[in-house]
Amino acid sequence: MFQIDRITSPEALADLLERGRRSMPGGVCSSTRWNRAWGRPVYARRAYGARFEDVEGREFLDMSMSHGASLLGHAPAALKAAFDAAWELGVMTSLDTPLHIELAERLCRIVPCGERVRFTGSGSEATLHALRLCRAASGRDKIIRFRGHFHGYHEFTYIGGHPPADQLAARPPHRESAGIPAAMAELVIPLEYNDPQALEDAVRRHREEAGTILIEPVDYNCGCILPAPGFLESARELADRYGMLLFFDEIQSFAKNSPGGAQQDFGVTPDICTIGKSLGGSLPLSAILGRAELMDRYAPVGDVAHSGTFNAPLLCILGGLVFTAEIERPEFWQTMQRLGARLYAELDDIAKRSPLPVRFQHHGSRFGIIFGTREPVTNYRQSLCHSKETMLRFCREASERGVYFHDYGGAACHHGYSLAHTEADIDTVLEVVDAAML
């Protein structure tokens, strides 16, 4: 009934692309799914383990893995039990169960800042609702954020993150989509990452109106920029000194290097964080975690609204139980570290001998590719050397050789492997990366 037939002629493919264009803007359900390297949408037929097949029947070794959401692989065996159980239990939307409590308890055990949890679907929803809470609790509307970091597509945060080179100092900051009101941009104070002096100056200057310091602690959304030693600590100290809330957006960094995310990796505990992507084991599940008295500002205990018909459907909670059970097994981390060690050592060699200046930066199971430099990239300004054209050519060349890197419009973003990748897969990826450096 739900079979997707393989397309066998150029005419049939052209017809499908046309049907897509006519029924969905650009033929896609997410603007960034229109693949600039391919010059068209990527339509998939099925996915399994570390691979997917497109509608033409071409198989790709997947180095996107749903942008990090499919960390257990596509269709991991353990998830089948969740689908069966949800059906048996009644699928259940808009009803909480003891299993919701079990997952919340587990997350409080795993994530250092977690004393209470609220679930959302997407990461964008999570950051939106968390920022509303931060504004209510701090009593101050402005947020301090960092260029190169990404926190979702909504009006609170799609501002000042990735401005063009001539807009770095724009006031109010650059809005990243048409339709975002100029008034929203007045509420955002973007800074360069890893510059403690700039942060201290901004915190002092804006202490009356800014109540939140929002950080993507590992900046995967700019080619994987790590926090400089001491930077997160100084953010923690400044937040405490000026009565601000420290908010780590760990939608991506959760469970990429350790179960507890960057706050575990770098030993700095925020007041509040968001986690997501892989949390649902490929199903849409994100969460807000934080200190008890802060989280209890949410109604019905407090006065901050957070509700939704599709908050925490049971199936996604079961996906979360499957995923968290996996990351509590030491063998999960041994496998991920073994794969990473093999991949990153060899990528560094490729970078050394590549005719193109390129740099690979990594943290846990995800890494960035930055074309245009061989030097460490520590902030957004430095990342502007990245060549989008080279990146798109690289993605095209790699996919022609059977390895899929998502194009991100050519931006330096993030790629990664999953539990389903084997050492042989990593070797294939390395061969293709080497060959695609044209």
Ligand X SMILES: Cc1ncc(COP(=O)(O)O)c(C=O)c1O
361 or 430, CB closer to ligand X?
361
252 or 324, CB closer to ligand X?
252
> 186: buried, middle or exposed (CB in 10 Å: 19+, 13-18, 0-12)?
middle
74 or 151, CB closer to ligand X?
151
Smallest distance from the beta carbon of 222 to ligand X, in angstroms?
A: 11
Other Cβ atoms closer than 10 A to 81: 12
Smallest distance from the beta carbon of 382 to ligand X, in angstroms?
A: 19
CA distance 143 to 153: 16
Residue 146: what are its φ and ψ, rounded to 5°? -130, 140
Which of 104, 251, 358, 398 is the binder for ligand X (CB under 6 A)? 251
274 or 436, CB closer to ligand X?
274
Smallest distance from the beta carbon of 218 to ligand X, in angstroms?
A: 9
119 or 430, CB closer to ligand X?
119
CA distance 413 to 431: 21
216 sits near ligand X (criterion: CB under 6 A): yes
276 sits near ligand X (criterion: CB under 6 A): yes
280 sits near ligand X (criterion: CB under 6 A): no
Q: Enumerate residues 28-87 that contact ligand X by CB under 6 A.
A: 67
Closest-approach residue to ligand X (CB): 123
239 or 251, CB closer to ligand X?
251
Smallest distance from the beta carbon of 153 to ligand X, in angstroms?
A: 7
Which of 62, 249, 265, 397 is the binder for ligand X (CB under 6 A)? 249
282 sits near ligand X (criterion: CB under 6 A): no
127 or 324, CB closer to ligand X?
127
CA distance 417 to 201: 39
Token digits of residue 143: 């947020």
407 sits near ligand X (criterion: CB under 6 A): no
Which of 194, 212, 252, 264 is the binder for ligand X (CB under 6 A)? 252
CA distance 100 to 315: 10
221 sits near ligand X (criterion: CB under 6 A): yes
222 sits near ligand X (criterion: CB under 6 A): no
Q: What mask, x for binding ligand X by CB under 6 A, covers residues 115 to 154?
A: -------xxx--x----------------------xxx--
> Can you give the binding site for ligand X, defined by CB under 6 A?
67, 122-124, 127, 150-152, 216, 221, 249, 251-252, 276
